């Protein structure tokens, strides 16, 4: 059975394009895996904070934050959010910008690392993004975060202790340092099989195409190795 193609994804919980990109990547990976021949994809999420200076309790809605952050009018901010919300709907996501509680996401990233250590990274990532964009949940406070941890089957009190001790803050910072080394300055960003970088919420077909290319190259490399082994056998 072939090794799955490893995909490392840098993203932020509070990034609307990251959730859209997550859905598009999932669709693209499904297209690729549907090709048979034991095609499979292994995903690992990595931390990226778009706005690390954001307070845990931001006073205002998402449009207020966007207007302040980008230096635009509230009307322009509303138009931007409406556009993004329309694109989100195309991939089955019903963003509720009016109910979003903008916050600092570092503790949420720590929780995702905790979940990874307990085999629940994918479930935790999805739950936090859904909480933020759709449910109007708060993803910056420990009390709220441990509730989401419990929902995906993690031990709430153990998760609380880990967050209060900052057990996974170093792992978050390591992800961010790696992003800098790679020159990643925007998310979502995908590193496929350690050698191809894909930036942004690309279409499903694009992701499927890159995965297929990597798969084909693997086959070519394997064939070349087999040929070398045959030659070595003849002249041994």
Three-state secondary structure string covering 159-218: HHHHHHCCCCHHHHHHHHHHHHHHCCCCCCEEEECCCEEEECCCCHHHHHHHHHHHHHHH
- Number of residues written out for the chain: 236
pLDDT given for residue 222 in this prediction? 53
pLDDT given for residue 227 in this prediction? 42
Count other C-beta atoms under 10 Å from residue 99's C-beta: 14
- Residue spans of the chain under pLDDT 70: 1, 221-236
Asked whether 13 and 134 are in contact (CB, 8 A), the reply is no
Question: Any idea where the domains of the chain sit in the sequence?
Answer: 1-48+186-236
Helices (H) and strands (E) in the chain, counts: 9, 4
Q: Name the DSSP letter for residue 38.
A: T
Kindly report the pTM of this predicted structure: 0.92
Residues 6+ apart with CB under 8 A from 46: 8, 9, 10, 11, 175, 178, 179
pLDDT given for residue 2 in this prediction? 80
Residues 6+ apart with CB under 8 A from 148: 111, 124, 127, 128, 131, 137, 139
CATH fold for domain 1-48+186-236 = Glutaredoxin (3.40.30)
pLDDT given for residue 232 in this prediction? 35
- At 56-91, the pLDDT tens digits run 999 998 999 999 989 999 999 999 999 999 999 999
**Nearest 10 degrees: Cα torsion 80, 85, 87, 88:** 140
pLDDT given for residue 38 in this prediction? 86
pLDDT given for residue 188 in this prediction? 98
Question: What span, in angstroms and rounded, lies between the C-alpha atoms of 28 and 202?
Answer: 9
Q: Name the DSSP letter for residue 27.
A: H
pLDDT given for residue 82 in this prediction? 97
> How far is CA 210 from its chain centroid?
18
pLDDT given for residue 235 in this prediction? 29
Residues 6+ apart with CB under 8 A from 99: 135, 136
Question: What span, in angstroms and rounded, lies between the C-alpha atoms of 16 and 105?
Answer: 13
pLDDT given for residue 191 in this prediction? 98
Q: Name the DSSP letter for residue 155.
A: -
């Amino acid at each position: 059975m072939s090794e799955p193609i490893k995909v490392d994804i840098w993203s932020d919980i509070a990034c609307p394009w990251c959730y859209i990109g997550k859905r598009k990547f999932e669709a693209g990976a499904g297209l690729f895996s549907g090709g048979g021949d034991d095609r499979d994809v292994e995903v690992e999420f990595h931390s990226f904070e778009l706005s690390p200076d954001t307070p845990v309790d931001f006073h205002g809605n998402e449009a207020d934050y966007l207007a302040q952050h980008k230096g635009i009018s509230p009307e322009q901010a509303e138009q931007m959010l409406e556009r993004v919300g329309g694109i989100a709907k195309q991939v089955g996501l019903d963003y509720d910008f009016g109910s979003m509680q903008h916050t600092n996401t570092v503790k949420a990233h720590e929780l995702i690392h905790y979940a990874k250590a307990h085999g629940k990274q994918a479930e935790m990532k999805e739950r936090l993004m859904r909480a933020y964009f759709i449910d109007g949940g708060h993803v910056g406070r420990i009390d709220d975060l441990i509730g989401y941890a419990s929902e995906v089957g993690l031990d709430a009190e153990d998760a609380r202790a880990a967050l209060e001790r900052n057990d996974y803050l170093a792992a978050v910072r390591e992800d961010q340092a790696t992003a800098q080394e790679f020159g990643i300055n925007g998310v979502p960003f995908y590193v496929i099989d350690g050698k191809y970088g894909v930036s942004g919420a690309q279409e499903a077909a694009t992701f499927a195409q890159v995965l297929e290319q990597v798969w084909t190259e693997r086959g070519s490399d394997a064939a070349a190795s087999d040929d070398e082994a045959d030659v070595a056998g003849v002249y041994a």
